[in-house]
Amino acid sequence: MNASFTAEELQFQEDARQFLEAEFPKDIRAKVEQRVRLEKDDYVRWQKILYKKGWAAPNWPEEYGGTGWTAVQKYIFAEQMARFGAPEPVAFGMKMVAPVIYSYGNEEQKKRFLPDILASNVWWCQGYSEPNSGSDLASLKTSAVREGDHYIVNGTKTWNTLGQYADWIFCLVRTDNSVKKQEGISFLLIDMKTPGIKVSPIYLIDGTPEVNEVYFENVKVPVENLIGEENKGWTYAKVLLTHERTNIAGVPRSKVRLEKLRALAAKTADGNGGSLSDDPIFKKKIAEAEIQVLALEYAELRALAAVSVGKAPGPESSILKVVGTEVAQFIDELYMEMAAWQSLPFVPDQFVEGFSGEEIGENGEAATALNYFNNRKASIYGGSNEIQKNIICKAVLGL
């Protein structure tokens, strides 16, 4: 771990910058800058460009299509992506189910699923939480009963993000009721086109149908869609959640958002003839956020350094999840405070492609409160921040 980049790393940074400059579609970049919501096509089009370049899945092992980058290169690339506002590949396929498939799936499953994930031919979504199983995920009740060559799946999954776009869903299902709750769970891949699956949107308070409930009624799933061994799903899921957490710190994005915030503050009137950049209270808040992001950045680099010498990402990743989401939420608050009155209009149409009416506010000001509301989810999902603290207590502090 070094405080500055080597010449090779600097060259890589330049290559990444040039690639993004040339290949990240200008229309998607404009949407991101104007805070227009991205559609499925935007994600898929961009991910296919990354795929063509061979950069779709930096974290995968090379044999399945990973880039073979060092931890520092991955870090540099993520930072450049954030700088251009380029969206990270949608996590469910690339970052969540793929590691489980290449770690625990059989050869047939690897061949069948990984290439389509890498090439963004198939959109995946997650079937973990249930209405009565949130933080206590292991209490899940969706059942999969073996009948000949199939499982028959019944139950309800919730907080399913962007499931309306999905071709496949990976699910935790109960295959044994007679044992300790963690020991009767299996990891099942299900084609969303199977009869008996219904997707129903849940509207959030920012007005978006971003998440869904997914209902399973006598859904027939071939047994070859089981990952690994029956009743070992909890072990696989825990590994997956650890991966989710290391990706959750969001340092590059927070850094870029803070830079933009500072630039916008300099252009925002303070009401007294100066700009918000002159406002000591606001200045102090930005500085505090920057300092927190710096500490988080070096916490992440230390964790990466540990992984690069062969240690699996451990409970330390809980720190990245807690602090990463909290600092992102604090930045949401700062944007909202900066927009002041203009944070209040509820004009979601303004942030949908093709809007041509009269705009309220500038620089996405009218999206700031909505972002603040929406992103309260960050401290809830991926193992709530309370669960992360339980993990720290148990696994690190020995309490």
Partner 1 sequence: MLQDSVQKFVHRHYSFDDRNAIIDSGSGYSDECWQLFAELGWLTVPFSEDDGGFGGLATDMMVLMEEFGKAMVVEPFVPTAVLGGGLVAALGSEQQKEQNLGPLMEGKLQLGAALYETNGRYNLASVGTTAKRDGDHYVVNGSKILVLNGESAQQLLVSVRTQGAERDEQGISVVLIDAASSGVHKKAYTTVDGHRAAQISFTDVRVPVANCLGAEGEALSALRRVVDRATLCVSAEAVGALDMLLQKTVEYSKTRKQFGTAIGTFQALQHRMADMFIECQLARSIVVMAAMKLDSNLPDAEKARAVSAAKSRVGRAIRKVGQEAVQLHGGIGITNELDVGHLFKRVTGIETLFGNSDFHTARFASL
How many positions of this chain bind partner 1 (CB under 8 A)? 50
Establish if 345 lies at the interface with partner 1 (CB under 8 A): yes
Closer of 148 and 271 to partner 1 (Cβ)? 271
Closer of 145 and 360 to partner 1 (Cβ)? 360
Contact 239, 252 (CB under 8 A): no
State how far the alpha carbon of 101 is from the alpha carbons of 123, 226, 299, 365, in Å: 15, 10, 29, 42
Establish if 33 lies at the interface with partner 1 (CB under 8 A): no
Q: How far apart are CB 206 and partner 1 at their closest, in Å?
A: 8
The number of C-alpha atoms within 13 Å of 201 and in the hemisphere containing its C-beta is: 10
Residue 252: which of 337, 320, 314 has the closest Cα? 320
| Contact with partner 1 (CB under 8 A) among 211, 296, 322, 331 | 211
Residues in 68-127 that interact with partner 1 by CB under 8 A? none
**Tokens representing 373?**
């509301």
| Contact with partner 1 (CB under 8 A) among 195, 273, 310, 354 | 273
Establish if 204 lies at the interface with partner 1 (CB under 8 A): yes
Residue 120: which of 62, 26, 57 has the closest Cα? 57
Establish if 340 lies at the interface with partner 1 (CB under 8 A): yes
Q: How far apart are CB 125 and partner 1 at their closest, in Å?
A: 15
Q: How far apart are CB 385 and partner 1 at their closest, in Å?
A: 8
Q: How far apart are CB 337 and partner 1 at their closest, in Å?
A: 6
State how far the alpha carbon of 324 is from the alpha carbons of 84, 197, 248, 289, 336, in Å: 20, 35, 7, 11, 19
Establish if 372 lies at the interface with partner 1 (CB under 8 A): yes
Establish if 231 lies at the interface with partner 1 (CB under 8 A): no
Contact 187, 209 (CB under 8 A): no
Question: Which positions from 122 to 141 touch partner 1 by CB under 8 A, shown as an x/- string?
Answer: -------x--xxxxx--x--
Establish if 358 lies at the interface with partner 1 (CB under 8 A): yes
Q: How far apart are CB 96 and partner 1 at their closest, in Å?
A: 18
Ramachandran sector of residue 111 (left: φ over 0; alpha: ψ -120 to 50; beta: rest): alpha
| Contact with partner 1 (CB under 8 A) among 43, 113, 124, 159 | 159
Residue 264: which of 367, 344, 154 has the closest Cα? 367
Q: How many CB atoms are located within 10 Å of the residue 177 CB?
A: 9
Establish if 369 lies at the interface with partner 1 (CB under 8 A): yes
For residue 191, the cross-strand partners are 168
Residue the block writes with tokens 């019944």: 154
The one catalytic residue in 79, 244, 290, 316 is 244
Residue 230 a catalytic site member: no
Q: Is 215 exposed, middle or buried (0-12, 13-18, 19+ CB in 10 A)?
A: middle
| Cβ-proximal residues to 43 (8 Å cutoff; 6+ apart), any chain | 87, 89, 90, 120
Closer of 57 and 323 to partner 1 (Cβ)? 323
Q: How far apart are CB 285 and partner 1 at their closest, in Å?
A: 8
Contact 5, 71 (CB under 8 A): no
| Contact with partner 1 (CB under 8 A) among 301, 306, 380, 392 | 380
Establish if 386 lies at the interface with partner 1 (CB under 8 A): yes
Residues marked as catalytic: 244
Site of interaction with partner 1 (CB under 8 A): 129, 132-136, 139, 158-159, 202-206, 211, 269-273, 279, 281-282, 333, 336-337, 340-347, 358, 360, 369-370, 372-374, 376-377, 379-381, 384-386, 389
